[in-house]
C-alpha cells in the first residue's frame, strides 16, 4: 500500500494515478478520516497529560493527608474520556486501513498513459513467425490428432475451462516445467521453492489480491484459505513481517505451481482450447531487492523470462503496459507475448512487474542498510518464467508439420528421453 503521509502530501498525484489506472478509491474520504484521527490523537494526548497532572496532584495530596475524592472523580472522568476516544480511534484506524488497501500503486513515470491494452507499447520483438506451405492447425486440432489433449474428459470431471493432457502431452508439459526450473536455478541464480498451493488472507492481502480481487479467487470457505492465482503469493509472503539485512539482498526465488483463477474465460473471450483456463501451470520468478536497483532488476527479470522463449525458438514481442492495463499493485509491467501460428495471434506468456515498496508495506518486509539504523522497505518484483499452457500452445502450433506431427525443440529433448517428434 501507499504511505498515508505520501498520500497526504501528494493527493493530486494519487488521484491522477487512480484515474489513469481506472481504479476506484475515495481519497477525499481517506484524508478526511485522517484529519479526524489526528485531531482525536491530539485530544487523547491532552487528556493523558491532564490525567498525569491530576495523578501527581493526588499523590502530593495523599502525602499531605488532604481530601482527594474530587480529584479521583476528575481522574475517573478523564480516563473514561480517554477510553471512549481510544475506541473511536480504533474504529477510525480500521476504516483508514480499509481505504488504504483500496488505493492502487502509483505508475512509474515511464509508463505510457492509456485506458486499455490498445495503448500498450511494443518495445521489441524477437524471431519471425514461421511460414508454412499448408494451413497451420490450431492446438485443439493438433491435440486431438496426436491424442495428447482431451478437453471432453476434462469437462466431464471438472467442467469447462479445465484441461486433461495425456501421454506425450503430459510429458511435454513436465519437460517444459523442468527445463525452465533448471534454466532459472542453474544459469540465472534463482533459488527453487515448492510453495503451498493454498494461502491465508494475510498472504493474499500482502501481495494485493485482496480485497480488490476476492470474487475472482477460489475460496475454501470452511478453512478460509484461497487457492493461489500465482506462486507470487506464497513465495513473496515467505518474508512477510521480517527485517532483512542489506547483505541478504538481492533474493531471487523461482517456483513451479498450479494456478487457479475463477475469471478465466469470462465474457466468452478465447474460451476454445487452452488459451483461457481456470487451472494452469506456471514457473514464477520473484525478487526482493534494494530500492535503488529495482528497475535494473526489472529489466534483468524480463531478460530471464525472454531466454526461455529464445531457447525454445518461439517468436515473441515485449510490450510495456499502459496505466489502464497495469495491475492494481504494479508500478511498471512488461508483457511477453509468444506468437502462435494456429490461432494467428500473440499470446501473453509472462508479465514482469516492479511493485516498488507497495507490497512490502502491506507485508511488512524491510531491510536495514549498512551503517544506517533506520529500516527501509524492500522493493519486490515478480514475473512468469514462463506460464503454461500458452507456451505449450505456441510450441505445438509453431512446430507442427503438414502431417499433423510436432517437432520437439532441441532443448527439451533431454527432458523427453530423446523424443524428437510427437506423432
Cell 531471487: give the residue.
252
Residues noted as catalytic: 261, 276, 348, 351, 390
Long-range contacts of 78-87 (CB under 8 A, 24+ apart): 78/47, 78/50, 78/51, 78/54, 79/51, 81/47, 82/44, 82/47, 82/48, 82/51, 85/40, 85/43, 85/44, 85/47, 86/44
CB of 16 closer than 8 Å to CB of 109: no
In whole angstroms, how far apart are CA 141 and each of 89, 113, 133, 151, 405?
62, 39, 18, 11, 11
CA–CA dist 93, 90 (Å, integer): 5
- Edge to edge, the sheet with strand 376-377 lists 243-245, 366-368, 376-377
CA–centroid distance for 92 within its chain = 28
Which of these, 178, 37, 138, 16, lies nearest to 95 by C-alpha position?
37
Amino acid at each position: 500500500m501507499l504511505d498515508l503521509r505520501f498520500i497526504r502530501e501528494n493527493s493530486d498525484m494519487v488521484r491522477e494515478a487512480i484515474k489513469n489506472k481506472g481504479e476506484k478509491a475515495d481519497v477525499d474520504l481517506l484524508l478526511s478520516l485522517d484529519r479526524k484521527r489526528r485531531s482525536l490523537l491530539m485530544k487523547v494526548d491532552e487528556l493523558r497529560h491532564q490525567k498525569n497532572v491530576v495523578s501527581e496532584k493526588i499523590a502530593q495530596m495523599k502525602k499531605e493527608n488532604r481530601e482527594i475524592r474530587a480529584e479521583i472523580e476528575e481522574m475517573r472522568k478523564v480516563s473514561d474520556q480517554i477510553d471512549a476516544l481510544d475506541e473511536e480511534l480504533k474504529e477510525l484506524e480500521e476504516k483508514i486501513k480499509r481505504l488504504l488497501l483500496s488505493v492502487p500503486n502509483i505508475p512509474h513515470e515511464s509508463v505510457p498513459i492509456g485506458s486499455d491494452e490498445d495503448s500498450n507499447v511494443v518495445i521489441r520483438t524477437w524471431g519471425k513467425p514461421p511460414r508454412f506451405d499448408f494451413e497451420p492447425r490450431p492446438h485443439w486440432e493438433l491435440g486431438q490428432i496426436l491424442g495428447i489433449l482431451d478437453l471432453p474428459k476434462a469437462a466431464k470431471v471438472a467442467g469447462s475451462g479445465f484441461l486433461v493432457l495425456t501421454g506425450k502431452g503430459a510429458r511435454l508439459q513436465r519437460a517444459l516445467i523442468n527445463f525452465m526450473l533448471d534454466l532459472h536455478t542453474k544459469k540465472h541464480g534463482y533459488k527453487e521453492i515448492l510453495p503451498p498451493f493454498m494461502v491465508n488472507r494475510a498472504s493474499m492481502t500482502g501481495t494485493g489480491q485482496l480485497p480488490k480481487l476476492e470474487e475472482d479467487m477460489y475460496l475454501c470457505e470452511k478453512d478460509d484459505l484461497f487457492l493461489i492465482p500465482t506462486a507470487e503469493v506464497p513465495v513473496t509472503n515467505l518474508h512477510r513481517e521480517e527485517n532483512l539485512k542489506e547483505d541478504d539482498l538481492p533474493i531471487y526465488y523461482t517456483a513451479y505451481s498450479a494456478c487457479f483463477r475463477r475469471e478465466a474465460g469470462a465474457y466468452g473471450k478465447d474460451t476454445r482450447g487452452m488459451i483461457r483456463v481456470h487451472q494452469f501451470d506456471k514457473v514464477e520468478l520473484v525478487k526482493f531487492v534494494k530500492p535503488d536497483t529495482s528497475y535494473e532488476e526489472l529489466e534483468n527479470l524480463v531478460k530471464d523470462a525472454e531466454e526461455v522463449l529464445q531457447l525454445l525458438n518461439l517468436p515473441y514481442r515485449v510490450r510495456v503496459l499502459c496505466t489502464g492495463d497495469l495491475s492494481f499493485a504494479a508500478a511498471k509491467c512488461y508483457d511477453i507475448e509468444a506468437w502462435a501460428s494456429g490461432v494467428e495471434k500473440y499470446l501473453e506468456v509472462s508479465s514482469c512487474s516492479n511493485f516498488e515498496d507497495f507490497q512490502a508495506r502491506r507485508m511488512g518486509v524491510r531491510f536495514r542498510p549498512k551503517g544506517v539504523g533506520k529500516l527501509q522497505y524492500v522493493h519486490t518484483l515478480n514475473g512468469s518464467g514462463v506460464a503454461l499452457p500458452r507456451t505449450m500452445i505456441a510450441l505445438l502450433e509453431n512446430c507442427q508439420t503438414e502431417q499433423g506431427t510436432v517437432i520437439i525443440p532441441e532443448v527439451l529433448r533431454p527432458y523427453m528421453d530423446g523424443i524428437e517428434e510427437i506423432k
